[in-house]
Each structure stands twice: as C-alpha cells, then as structure tokens.
Amino acid sequence: MPSLSACLFVFPVAGKEISAFQIVHSTLSNRQDQPIRRGNPYIEGGLAVSPGSKPERFVFAVEEAVLEDLRRRLAATRLPDEIPGAGWQYGAERSYVKELIDYWRRDYDWRAREASLNRLDHYRVRMEDITLHYIHQPGVGPAPLPLLLTHGWPGSIFEFTKIIGPLTDPGRYGGDPKDAFTVVAPSLPGYGFSHSPDQRRLGIEEIADLFARLMSDVLGFQRFAAQGGDWGSFVTARLGFAHSDKTVGIHLNMVPLAPHPRDRADLSDAEKAFIEESKYFLAEETGYQWIQGTKPQTLAYGLNDSPAGLAAWITEKFQTWTDCHGDLEDRITKDELLTNIMIYWVTGTINSSFYLYHRLKHRPWRLGPGERIEAPTAVAAFPGEILRPPKEWAARMFNLKRWTAMPQGGHFAALEEPEALVEDIRAFFRDLR
C-alpha cells in the first residue's frame, strides 16, 4: 500500500494523536495518441497538450544487457541465515526467497511478459519537468466513461492488467457494452517509467493535481471517474476532494485518511473495535514505513543493487497483505509477482518510490474539521485488507453511496479478485454516467 499505504489514519492514543504512519501506514515511436471519438459526452474539445509536449507512444523494450546482468546478480546471491522454523515471522522466508530467485534466474520469461504488457496502449508525456507514463486504453461501447486507475506501493500498473480488458470491452467478457470505460492508468511519479527529477516535492496533493491535468488538459476529458487502492486510494480521495467538479465519482478498495478528531464524536462499537485492532498493525507491521519515511536512501543502496534483496522486500508485503492464508501462490503466481518486481528493477525506481512515504510522514494531507470528500464514493471492502474500518468510519469522511463487503480478497484487489472488483466498479458508475 503505500504500505497500506501509509494510511493517514489518525487516532487518539495516550492523550495524543498518531498518524497512519504510526498506525499503519509506481522506446518511443512516432505513433500518435489514439484519436478521440466524436459524440463522447465526456470529451471537451480536442486533445489539449502542454506547450511543446505531446503524448508519445511508449513500448517496453528492456535491453538484453540488463537481463544478462540480472541473471548474473541472481546467480551470485548470498542468502542470510534464518532462525530454524521461523517461516515468515521475522520477514521473508528464506526457503521461499531461494525458490523465487531460482525460478527468476532459470524459468521466468521477461520477454513474454514484456510482449503481454505491450499489447496495451502505453504513452509518455512531459508535464513541466515530469515525464509521466500511462496506459490509455479506449473503451468499446456507445459512450465509454473515462476511468482513472491509480496504483500504490509496492505495486505498479501491472496490477491492472487483469481488469483493463473487462473494463474497456465488457461485451467481449460477457458484460454490457454500455458499461464500457476508457481506462487511463498512470505510473505514479517516481515509479516505473514515470520520472521526476525531485521526488521529494510530490505529495498526494501534487500527484492528484498532476493526474487531473493529465485527464483534462492532456487527454481532453471534461469529467471522469477514478478508482484506487493503497496510495491510489489517497490520490483518488484527493481528486474527489480538490477536483470534485471533474470527478463523476470515486471508487476505493482501501479506505484512506481518518476523520478529524473533532468529527469523531459518538464512535460506534465497531469504530472503537477498529481502533483497537489497528494497534496491532502499529506495533508489528509498520517497520517498512519508518525506514522508507525517514532514511529511504540508505535502504535503497541494498535494494537497487541486489535483485534478491528487492524481491524479498516486496514479496514479504505481498505475502502479508494478500488474502492467501499463508500460501501466497494461492493468490499471486510467481510470474505475476516477478513481473511487478521487474518494473522496479529494470527502471531502478525502488528509491524514488520510497519518497512518497517521506513526504507523507513529514507533511501529510489530512482532513480539517468538518471537511469531507463530497464526490459520490463507493468502497469495495475486502476482508484481507491491511486495515478494515467499518462503514460508519468511512461515512464520516466520504459522501458514501455504496459499500460492498467482499467475501474474499486482500490488499491487491485487482490481482487477487479481478472479477469482483470489475463488477463493483461497473455497478457503482452505472447510475453516474
């Protein structure tokens, strides 16, 4: 999530407040952008681009030398000792990390995954000094609704590869073409192929503003829907707060933020239980937030140099945050896990991906007294999510129109439960088109 995405939950503990950082807690060609179809009610004017810049088609094409270097590093891995029988109690399990490394070196096929990613329409555009990578997949239907999908940490745009097809072309997947979306899925700045020269200055507010400009100024959408989990839930919530004139509605698969202390009168029993439950996460599962939020550069030396270290750091979060009952591959395959890790490895962006934690720790976005997100909001509540606030907690902050208690699934909903997530997104926005 951002580690549960550094959820900026704020709770009163021992007479003081602690934030989510304490409680819990991204080859160019000459092809032009897809033409905008006439008659779409969500388009205003034509394709507007920043002066001197226009979207350029982007193709994943990792140099073979990078892959050869990766295999060399994997072969030279020096695994640490482990307490006998520790399993995942103290972090990534040694036997699983060794198994994953061996598979990565001998059997994993990046070229096949690269080709699969390239079947989607990727672009990059320069917005001021930021080079933003995004997927722009046109919808197939009478009036596709623009939908902005935002990922989190330690995820990437790869998380959305199972849901983009059903969202953009529902008829092909047994759905109603009237439910079609035109999907835009950016890589967060500093993640994957989105580059910012100074990651420190970009917080949730700035990223939400950037994505709003991408949708309206670059792609020409007058209004759009937004969806996100982890850091994506924060960005999506901010869009619903600061850009409610542009957002048709927002859909979340993680509830970010917390009501201002003045807006927490008469907490329900469920809300009180949630606060107590969250103390475990604070005590046992926030170490990564502290190091990423205070001294990210130090950690990055190891993870940017060692693919085994990077894999262990990310895999442990997937194992802990998925609804897998201890068996990660019951929910996420090795190929899926490694493709997500590869996006960090080949771009060298694990360090820059940390800085959102640093920014949020030192200058968080919080709701003020009486402030709410007024955009119509839906929440898909998965039982294996990192924190599980009750409906009434979310209703204190959001204009909550839909709450779906999912039967299974965890933090990485788009990978774990793509069909359930797609159906909930369709159902919510059906009446908002």
Tokens coding 98: 């060794």
Is position 357 annotated as part of the catalytic site?
yes
Catalytic residue among 121, 230, 323, 424: 230
Q: Tell me the sheet residues that pair with 43.
A: 221
**Which among 136, 179, 357, 358 is annotated as catalytic?**
357
Residue 222: half-sphere exposure toward Cβ, Cα within 13 Å: 9
Q: Which residues contact 142 (CB under 8 A, 6 or more apart)?
A: 177, 178, 180
Cβ(421)–Cβ(380) below 8 Å:
yes
Spot the catalytic one: 133, 134, 411, 424: 411
Q: In 3D, which of 136, 111, 120, 92 has the Cα closest to residue 308?
A: 92
Residue by residue, what is the 3-state secondary structure of 305-351?
HCHHHHHHHHHHHHHHHCCCCCCHHHCCCHHHHHHHHHHHHHHCCHH
Indicate the Cα dihedral angle 430, 163, 292, 7, nearest 10°. Answer: 30
Mark whether 230 is an active-site residue: yes
Q: Distance between CA atoms of 225 and 211, rounded to whole angstroms? A: 12
Residue 30, burial from CB neighbour count under 10 angstroms (0-12, 13-18, 19+): exposed
What b/e string do you get for 267-301 counting C-beta neighbours within 10 Å, with b at 16 or more? beeebeebbeebeebbeebbebbeebbeebeebbe
Round to whole Å and give the CA distance between 92 and 84: 13
Close Cβ partners of 343 (under 8 Å, ≥ 6 residues apart): 156, 157, 158, 191, 192, 349
DSSP H or E stretch at residue 251: strand 247-252
How many helices, marked H, and strands, marked E, lie in the chain? 17, 11
CA distance 403 to 314: 30
The two beta strands, 373-381 and 398-405, are parallel
- State which H helix or E strand residue 355 sits in: helix 350-362
Tokens of 41: 């009610």
Dihedral, CA atoms, 66, 70, 73, 74, nearest 10 degrees? -170
Which residues does the annotation mark as catalytic?
230, 357, 411
